[in-house]
Chain A
């Protein structure tokens, strides 16, 4: 059946520009590239699903091909849809757990100390490599104790005193791994006289989509659309997220890939720097003191696709004492759970190699990026600490109150 929603493949002029900019096709010949896996074979797949070949799985969904295409073909979407419509899902323990960030997160944070200890034991790493096909060399994010959501519900400073409020979609990473980023966001927004509300959210669905669990992703998405719409309440309230990939999913993947109606939230979701910048523009800039920091900024693929990079750069430019080196935009290779899998590990590492070299050359103290998995990848491959733009802002604000 022809999906009339995305016949953009018909606009393809066969110029191969997408394939030139695909980081995966650059590093491995096992992947024929976006042109061939996207618009070229889509017409064949429509005729006969038998013609699907499983090299599709190599696409990391970084979306760089879509940015390059002069004809507006939604190449990466075509590939993702084909992946989960046609590729048989071998049920794999690893993929199951990797995509259940909520489930794993809850278990892991319950005994975070034990999780962090065990996951780095040699025999465990060996077991993961051989049985679960999670590469030996890979390092993992640390799990926090308890959830951010729990903290927000109990200990978060009173938010009702603020007239303006923002609904914060914290995502799994802040919830289970990096509470500090969430707390920093509360500090930053509070310093700007904005209250922070959290909702009963579920994983945005990005890892589920990447691992082919579409029904589960749809369930989560439907839940989030409902919960967030409910939370919007007053006129002018906006939904913010500190994860570029969560924001991308809420805004675009829900409609384009999961085919859900997200109209109630579509125009209300902002990746955090866009929200901050629009506040800055009205003059609402929090008081800050110099951070005295030399940093390199890496722009994540999904933020690039959303056109959100300019906001981050402009927010960072407002921070006093921040000496910023803007790195050439390229994929770090991790692409969510992609780089956590043994079969893609080497590809993922060689995609990022040039970026890591450029970071070394930039001669900085820290790296700044918007995405949690980019952070993991860069921290594993370079000696630098990686901060979120909100954390740098929070530092500048703290310096002021000190």
Chain B
């Protein structure tokens, strides 16, 4: 097969890159071993959230331009501010074409609430997490009801409420918790505690039970203005269901991410994949790239688990295989490796330096900053130290930034994916 561009890893970074490439008429394929980190994410896109001293960054683009880009090593430095802006708008437009609108706060960060009830700055969110009515409603400092479906075990309203009450942003709110019953529960042999967010999202998608659910929500919320529900208000039909539920209850409905799998993240995954397919991209799921041949600084072909000895060729390649979580990086006893091509990695050789002593350490863990070393155009080095000109590395596999401490994972994945796409399109045209 002869591609213009073959992408290894179908997460947010690989998909953004692929969609840009096919939309410019390139022949593009994405190979992906399994589902990406989107299935575990909040579904909000972080651009830049925290200063080094953990203070909140309010204007992320401005902050990136003034303080991050001059620093030089950060993936954002390589993209440049124009590429970041362009990439983020391209990403938003892409989702909008699939009917999923992302909202931002006029270039400022807004806050979103995690499963634990902690509050985090982020840049882009779905309508059920941030929009103008939610912003206005928040100013009224009134009452919030956090509800769960009785028996559903992947969400704990009391925990979320308890943490919110401790937060100064919410000190003037009255926060209550409650339970509602799903009508379908009575007709199923399945125990509600075996339900997953997806099961419930499908029930919402069918629309059939909406009026009944809306009634229960109103009854359980004691006149609150906001109702926080675990995120499962539909998966394929989200925009419509959200609208109807808002109308039926007359309340501001807010979605809080549940334990994985995350419906908020899956909506983005669905939208990106269907956009890619609609534009003629070839998504090859369930296959792992296990190597390739680099000759004189050029990646000639790759091979995969399923395709055996067949060589897949392409003018350009992208490695967007994620971090440790997605197995784009692997740790061995005393070294950290990039398993597909054995590319040069920036990491400490002393295992003791990989992680912080406490799991939820504020400074986060050093291993999150490890990754594949690249030049300014995201091209990595092979084992002999030669730059691989037709291979680009994007997203979570890159080093020198910390997605958790800085709150910038989604933004880096999108901007670097978009940046690589631009380079590839340029390369194909010249």
Contact = CB atoms under 8 A, between A and B. Distances in A.
Contacts of A267: 308-309
B132 to A, nearest CB: 32
Contacts of A281: 1-2
Interface stretch (A15-23, A88-96, A104-112, A158-166): A15-23
A278 B196 CA distance: 43
A304 B286 contact: yes
Contacts of B198: 19-20
A72 B34 CA distance: 7
A19 B326 CA distance: 18
Across the A-B interface, give the 5 residue pairs with the lowest CB-CB distance, nearest first. A67-B286, A29-B190, A70-B34, A307-B306, A307-B287
A309 B188 contact: no
A305 B308 CA distance: 14
B40 interface: yes
Interface stretch (B63-71, B277-285, B344-352): B277-285
Contacts of B188: 29
A70 B36 CA distance: 7
B35 A70 contact: yes
A68 B1 contact: no
B261 A307 contact: no
A15 B196 contact: no
B194 interface: yes
B1 A70 contact: no
Contacts of A307: 284, 286-287, 304, 306-307
B423 interface: no
B34 A68 contact: yes
Given A70-B35, A266-B308, A307-B286, 8 more contacts: A16-B196, A16-B260, A16-B261, A67-B34, A68-B286, A70-B326, A274-B310, A307-B287
A66 interface: yes
Interface string A61-87: 000001111111000000000000000
Contacts of B73: none
Contact of B285 (A20, A277, A304): A304
A67 B196 CA distance: 20
Contact of B39 (A32, A70, A72, A326): A70
B306 A306 contact: yes
Interface in B11-46: 29, 33-36, 39-40
Contacts of B261: 15-17, 20
Contacts, number: 80
B109 interface: no
A221 to B, nearest CB: 19
Given A16-B260, A16-B261, A29-B188, A69 B284 contact: no
* Highest count of chain B CB atoms <10 Å: which of A16, A306, A313: A16
Contacts of A1: none
A310 interface: yes
Contacts of A309: 284
B288 interface: yes
Contact of A17 (B39, B277, B286): B39
A-side interface mostly:
helix
Nearest to B278: A326
A279 interface: no
B422 interface: no
A133 interface: no
5 contacts: A20-B196, A29-B188, A69-B35, A71-B34, A277-B1
A122 interface: no
A296 B190 CA distance: 36
A326 B277 contact: yes
Residue from B260, B274, B286, B287 with most neighbouring chain A CB atoms (10 Å): B286
Given A68-B34, A306-B306, A26 B202 contact: yes
A267 B310 CA distance: 9
Interface in B190-223: 190, 194, 196, 198, 202
Contacts of A131: none
Given A66-B286, A267-B309, A310-B1, A15 B260 contact: yes
Nearest to B37: A70
Contact of B189 (A30, A67, A72): A30
A314 interface: yes
A216 to B, nearest CB: 28
Contacts of B325: 70
A15 B36 CA distance: 11
Contacts of A29: 188-190, 194
A310 B29 contact: yes
Interface string A149-182: 0000000000000000000000000000000000
A308 B282 CA distance: 12
Contacts of B287: 307
A267 B305 CA distance: 11
Nearest to B266: A20
A70 B286 contact: no
A278 B310 contact: yes
Interface string A276-313: 01100100000000000000000000001111111001
B427 to A, nearest CB: 23
Contacts of A70: 33-36, 39, 325-327
Contact of B33 (A72, A266, A306, A313): A72
Contacts of A30: 189
B160 to A, nearest CB: 20
Interface string B404-426: 00000000000000000000000
A17 B36 CA distance: 10
Interface in B259-296: 260-261, 266, 274, 277, 282, 284-288
B284 A310 contact: yes
Interface in B301-353: 304, 306-310, 325-327
Contacts of B196: 16, 19-20
A326 B281 CA distance: 12
A347 to B, nearest CB: 13
Nearest to B36: A70
